[in-house]
Amino acid sequence: MKRSKLISVGVAVTAAALLPLASATPAAADTSSCTHHWAGPQVCIRLEGRNAYNSVTAIWTNPSRGTRHRVVTMSVNGRSVGTRVARRVGSTLSAHWPTMDTGTDTTVCVTFRGISRTACEKTRYIGDRAQL
């Protein structure tokens, strides 16, 4: 293959690889965190939103096959703010709290009843940079 043709192919492949990145919306405010244990239950929390307004999702990634639902508690800075019943979707259990004022620089945690592990994530003030 000629050198000029190789360069054209290389440019096209690079452009195709970068295109999804250029069109992606900023997700600086969306964060997630999981407990990191090699054995036993793994619990995750996902915050979606911006600044003080976030929705919260609690996820138990590896429940036993027979577990269909479980109560999960959300806390903000150590204070319980609500419970939900997590339901099985595929191989995980999850519960969701709609967008609310979680505050900024606060620690949001989720704990599934009967599991000693807690997943936490800190909210952050990111300003207006996530707006398009």
Structure confidence by residue, pLDDT tens digits, 12-34: 333 333 433 333 333 345 788 99
HEC profile for 56-120?
A: EEEEECCCCCCCCEEEEEEEECCEEEEEEEEEEECCEEEEEEEEEECCCCCEEEEEECCCCCEEE
Res. 4: pLDDT tops 60: no
pLDDT tens sequence across 74-110: 999 999 999 999 999 999 999 999 999 999 999 999 9
Q: Which domains does the chain have, with CATH numbers?
A: 31-122 (2.60.40)
What is the reported pTM? 0.73
Looking at every residue in the chain, the average pLDDT score rounds to: 81
Task: Give pLDDT tens digits for 39-48.
Answer: 889 999 999 9
